[in-house]
Amino acid sequence: MSDLKPILLVEDSPNDVELTLAALERCQLANDVVVVRDGAEALDYLFERGQFTKRNSGNPVVVLLDLKLPKVDGLEVLGQIKQDPGLRQTPVVMLTSSREERDVVESYNLGVNAFVVKPVEFEQFFVAIRDLGMFWAVLNEPPPRVLGK
């Protein structure tokens, strides 16, 4: 199963990380989940630099990206992903508690694939994450593999 691409979870809330990992585990995805805690760490992972220079090459199957992050915010991370020819086809789901219209509009202007507001209620959050994981890791048909990625 090592040829499966990982899911990249970019989330600074330990509670949301725990809930997200539990929901993804429950749907028994074979994909590994890589967790990074801020936008700078996400960019290091995606661009294979810093502590991630020796990680397995290739893009994640999906990036689950929080909007409000330390160091580099989610919109900046999204912008850099979508501007890079090697990353732009990587699906990005903005997973946030923000319901602000400007955040939704800006995310779509930058090329986000989906914008999901985190449900406050535990079971709804759990179901939303499970469904996201199943869709992006199993059901979605990714673009053909780009050389070197």
Sorted by where each begins, the domain ranges of the chain are: 7-138
Judge whether residue 67 has pLDDT over 90: yes
Judge whether residue 94 has pLDDT over 70: yes
Judge whether residue 109 has pLDDT over 50: yes
Tell me what pLDDT residue 82 has.
97
pTM: 0.88
Tell me what pLDDT residue 2 has.
52
β-pairing, 7-10 with 33-36?
parallel
- CATH number, domain 7-138, options 3.40.50.2300, 3.40.50.720, 2.40.110.10, 3.90.550.10: 3.40.50.2300
Tell me what pLDDT residue 149 has.
46
Confidence category of residue 93, pLDDT binned at 50, 70, 90: very high
Tell me what pLDDT residue 144 has.
66
Q: 63 by DSSP, 3-state: which? A: strand
Summarised one tens digit per residue, pLDDT across range 6-30 is 999 999 999 989 988 988 888 777 8
